[in-house]
Amino acid sequence: QVQLVQSGGGLVQAGGSLRLSCAASGGTFSSYAMGWFRQAPEKERELIAAISRSGYSTYHADSVKGRFTISRDNGKNTVYLQMNSLKPEDTAVYSCAASITGRTVIRDEYEYWGQGTQVTVSS
């Protein structure tokens, strides 16, 4: 059983930065592709970033490309989401997730989920 524990959320002003962390235990971290999702009020959950097992391949949604960066440190069993130039529309609950198969395109391809953390960006 894989456990994912998140940290790093909070309240920031527009234009500010936050870094989210997601630490894994109970499995072989380097065997999982990882993703970050967010769900804003009255909106569906969306995939905003994903990273391959090795970290060599990444994906970033158009809405965050150039502002957010996903990365991983397999030595620390941790995946990160660096968020810069934050906007009020980035306000959402952010969740990390692990994919055993390595497929990362849709929500159903992720088997394990973190607890979620609130990110609020004020104007």
* % of the chain at pLDDT higher than 90: 91
CA atoms of 74 and 24, how far apart (whole Å): 10
Give per-residue pLDDT as tens, 68-103.
999 999 999 999 999 999 999 999 999 999 999 999
Token pair listed for 79: 């995946």
Collapsing DSSP states into helix, strand and coil, what is residue 89?
A: helix
Pairing of strands 10-13, 117-122: parallel
Q: What percentage of the chain carries pLDDT values higher than 70? A: 100
The rounded distance, in Å, linking the Cα atoms of 95 and 3 is 13
